[in-house]
Amino acid sequence: MDARQRQPRLSALQKVSVQQRATLLARLQTVQLLQMSEREIAELVKQVEADPLFQKLLYAPTSSWKVLRFQPHPRTRLTGSFYEMNEETLPAGARPEAGAVLAEGREALALIRKIGQENFERYFLRADTDLDRSALAQTLGVNESDIQKIRDFMLSYSIQAEFFDPPARPGTAQRVVRLARLTLNAEGEPEFEFRSPLLARGRYDIQYERLQAILKGPQLVPQERRHLRAFVRRLELINWRQNTLYRILDYICHAQRRFLATREAVHKTPLTQRSLARHLAVAPSTINRAIHGRSLVMPWGEEVLLEDLFCTRKSLCVDALEILEEEDKDFAQRTDEELQARLKERLGLPIPRRTVNSYRRLLGKSTDA
């Protein structure tokens, strides 16, 4: 009797345990994706897109199968230098492998120039038409096999884009991945110019209504339905990774837009990895790993590591006090209240008087006895 009563409870516990393991596995997968380098992600994408199912969903035989497009993130574009690349114009400091990449992609680059930037971005960076591969080739005036040559080069180049970047720290062996070059638009918001076509094309735009119609229709056998569901799940995981990386970049640069506009460190906004993690609902360690070894090129041409765009209120205040000390020969005689007012004017932040005094002590310039 007792055994029969206990059995349902054991079954429920086992069910919860399975659900917990599945949830934990999903979290581990997303964290691992965010920690992967751009090269590793591009290799994963190339593997996923080699599946014949991807080709069928992107270059659909009928409009009902057109489940996939690409959706670039807001205020992003592919760098114009992509269309001008050749083996004679490699950037200074590029690795020797960069020349080999362009040599192997010479035919694809010629095809891209032939169809033009507008067509390349419409049909390859957005894929926003219902044309199948044959109709697309006819529209562009190329052979059907040329479509795959262009796509293969896009992914191969994205995998090896880091070869085109010189060391981030001149005179050292340290290398980082340059994600984008920054500019500011008329509204003062950051815009991202990517070197990698994979980053420039953004995320997979999955047409879920069409997907559900296919899954519920008679076209697929059970095994094909399972494969389609699993395949879409892989696309969703890649989307999560690309979306999260973009959100990190956009949040940091939006927060620091005054600094980006003026180039003055005192115009930075207090921003920590922990506060960003709270905003994105991820662990701080995830942010740390996601930004490590990645950089952006500032509007004035300087390359800056992502980690250097974070700062605390304390570091901002101390830096501002050091600048005031250099500018004001009577700095040591200034009262805390005077410096409090000048810090608020310069930083736009209300700083308590006692905090000002504490920071002055760090500089050894307090007027207190």
The tens digit of pLDDT for each residue in 45-74 reads 999 999 999 999 999 999 999 999 999 999
**Residue at 347 is within a domain:** yes
| Calpha distance 317→202 (Å, rounded) | 38
Contact 98, 163 (CB under 8 A): yes
Q: How many domains does the chain have?
A: 2
Above 60 in pLDDT, residue 289?
Answer: yes
Question: 171 and 187: one domain?
Answer: yes
Determine the structural domain holding residue 60 and report its residue range. 33-309
**Residue at 19 is within a domain:** no
Above 90 in pLDDT, residue 24?
Answer: no
Instruction: Determine the pLDDT at residue 93.
Output: 65
Above 70 in pLDDT, residue 12?
Answer: no
Element (H, E) at 52: helix 52-58
Question: 284 and 319: one domain?
Answer: no
**Residue at 18 is within a domain:** no
Question: 198 and 147: one domain?
Answer: yes
For residue 264, CA distances in Å to 110, 207, 297, 325 come to 43, 45, 16, 17
Q: What is the pLDDT of residues 307-366, one digit of tens each?
A: 999 987 777 777 777 777 777 777 777 787 877 787 777 777 777 777 777 777 777 654
Question: 104 and 167: one domain?
Answer: yes
Question: 224 and 281: one domain?
Answer: yes
Q: Of all residues in the chain, what percent are helix, strand and coil, respectively (each to 5)?
A: 65, 10, 25
Instruction: Determine the pLDDT at residue 216.
Output: 93
Higher pLDDT pick, 4 / 271: 271
Given 309, 327, 343, which residue is the final one in a domain?
309
| Calpha distance 131→137 (Å, rounded) | 9
Question: 271 and 228: one domain?
Answer: yes
Q: What is the pLDDT of residues 95-114, one digit of tens each?
A: 777 778 888 889 999 999 99
Question: 177 and 305: one domain?
Answer: yes
